[in-house]
Structure 1
């Protein structure tokens, strides 16, 4: 395959500020067509060199494509991904992959049946220091995990409150995030779907764990959607965990993602804000992984590039598979269900 023929479903803020520039700069990608709402999609076609633009998803998918990039509002990911997978196309689907666990696991099955790549672009899963941390865990350096802490906080109160000004400054985009995507409950707005999706997917990729039951609380604090989330988790295999999230860091502050894993043989701590990964074993061994300054900052350039490399065979490493994304989806769905039931513990999966 000399060039991967890519179609795009969605042409908004994140696609135009992150994914499309990556693909437009690659010689091994042909941007065949783009589907979006309104006349802005034709300006996107001209800006990035797509072959055609349309308002009709079926017209796009009927083109001669190898792969599809889906960046629609959260609640529209599933039908677009189903249509693409059923045509045998490789799929990059934005996070959260879906809003419902049954839909997420259905996409896992469809991708497996079609024998195609499905990648959900979680940027932190591709950082050199998180990849190195996973190697330590895969080598059994902390033994069997007994307790996991997973925390995230970000300067996103404006995004979830309907004021995307800070996001425009941070990502230098001419296209604004749609408030209906981020601050409407019916479209999956809120901190859990918008941000905890990152931290939980990182946890599940690093550890291979899966949540079994959760007791959680979400708080809107005057917003139409959740800005704060907290939960106690029981994992398959018996490990215990805690999860927390907060949208109200001050604009300009560094994102916080803090994962601490306590095992039978030691402890691993990963902190993107302070840019550190440390291993402390009970036999006295200590190790601190080297991290380049600024590497902890969030960016998502590697995942869309890796998607193409998987298709062409340049790489075989997908750090954010559909399975990882589905574990995040089912956790978040159960967290919000538990919160709606006054924090009662609920099962995450059968």
Structure 2
């Protein structure tokens, strides 16, 4: 199943979901490539025909089974958060490769089911976490993989964003950063607890996915608090984490940076032999060892800002065989889901400790 397409054949891609993020980010990337055929798009609402025409999809439908049966190689899923897992599993069962938006699921069990079923059939699952594909984070990953940290003992993982409007006001405010001709973000997705709204599912998923990819850690226990001042979903997160292997961690999230401020992602990893510091806002990656060896990477100004151009391109390259590395696969995504699932359950229980089943149970 994971074998690449025949040489010279275009990747036949369909899309489930035709809203703001799909039309502002993913579809323009695919439409501009000469190795992609946009077979069909599935969505709802009066703008569906306009989306089909703007990006050159072969057909439009409101029935995603019709789309999945159209001879696709892969499918791009950008539906509301609570529908991601249903659509991803249905596509995997058709033998399709999947690019699915975060969070892949709202609960740990179904996220690990996606891992199991995709690995059984050899399907690529890529979750478009943009920071995981930045040259400076890839360089940081190589330093970690080379063993320069030794045994990881403690981590700090912080994220803050200018997203108050997205989670607690007018979601269209974020269109100053990413705009679409056909749609804007829907409050029913981002501001509904039942549908996976809130800062943890919407943003901490990014910082934790970067942490898990960099370190290969997996959470074992979570003690969490969340607050939602003036909102129906969480705007602020704080958690104490225990990881398999004994490392300790501290996690924080905040939705209320001023609109013009850059996103903050600050990850610090303390090991038995050295310390890694990665900061997207101030554009720093350094790894300093206790034996005196030091790596301080040169990062181009502006390179830390969030963008999501590389992941859709990598999805196509995985299908065509031009690339083999997936920096945001189903396992990375499942680790973020089980963490955030546990954070929500801990916060709902007043900060009680939540234990996550060990790897052997997954």
Do these two structures clear the TM 0.5 threshold for a shared fold by scoring above it? yes
Query: Which residue matches 1:217?
Result: 225
Preserved CA contact (<8 Å) 2:227 2:237: yes
Name the CA distance, whole Å, in 1 between partners of 2:157 and 2:267.
Answer: 5
Preserved CA contact (<8 Å) 2:191 2:197: yes
Q: Say if 1:62 and 1:162 are closer, same or farther in 2 by CA, change over 3 A.
A: farther
Query: Which residue matches 1:325?
Result: 333
Query: Which residue matches 2:160?
Result: 153
Which of these residues, 333, 337, 347, is aligned with residue 345 of structure 2?
Answer: 337
SS in 1 for 2:177: helix
Query: Which residue matches 2:179?
Result: 172
SS in 2 for 1:80: helix
Asked if 1:63 corresponds to 2:70, the answer is yes
Counting only pairs closer than 5 Å after superposition, residues 291-306 of structure 1 correspond to structure 2 as 291-306=299-314
Query: Which residue matches 2:273?
Result: 265
Name the CA distance, whole Å, in 2 between partners of 1:141 and 1:156.
Answer: 36
Preserved CA contact (<8 Å) 2:172 2:185: no
Name the CA distance, whole Å, in 1 between partners of 2:47 and 2:309.
Answer: 24
Preserved CA contact (<8 Å) 1:213 1:349: no
Q: CA RMSD in A?
A: 0.7
For structure 1, list consecutive stretches of 5 or more residues without a partner in the other structure.
none
Name the CA distance, whole Å, in 2 between partners of 1:349 and 1:16.
Answer: 38
Query: Which residue matches 1:21?
Result: 28
Counting only pairs closer than 5 Å after superposition, residues 64-79 of structure 1 correspond to structure 2 as 64-79=71-86
Q: 1:62 deviation in Å? A: 1.2
Query: Which residue matches 2:214?
Result: 206
Asked if 1:122 corresponds to 2:129, the answer is yes
Once the two structures are superposed, residues 24-67 of structure 1 have per-residue CA deviations (whole angstroms, 9 ceiling, x without a partner) of: 00000000000001121111000000000001111111111110
Q: TM-score, normalised by structure 1?
A: 0.99
Moved more, 166-175 or 129-138: 166-175
Asked if 1:132 corresponds to 2:121, the answer is no
Q: Which runs of 4+ in 1 moved over 3 A?
A: none
Name the CA distance, whole Å, in 2 between partners of 1:232 and 1:47.
Answer: 46
Moved more, 173-182 or 6-15: 173-182
SS in 2 for 1:171: coil
Asked if 1:30 corresponds to 2:50, the answer is no
Which of these residues, 234, 254, 258, is aligned with residue 250 of structure 1?
Answer: 258
Query: Which residue matches 1:232?
Result: 240
Alignment: residue pair count: 350
Name the CA distance, whole Å, in 2 between partners of 1:349 and 1:52.
Answer: 44
Asked if 1:107 corresponds to 2:145, the answer is no
Preserved CA contact (<8 Å) 2:42 2:60: yes
Name the CA distance, whole Å, in 2 between partners of 1:28 and 1:11.
Answer: 21
Query: Which residue matches 1:195?
Result: 203
Q: 1:344 deviation in Å? A: 0.7
Q: 1:162 deviation in Å? A: 3.6
Name the CA distance, whole Å, in 1 between partners of 2:200 and 2:97.
Answer: 27
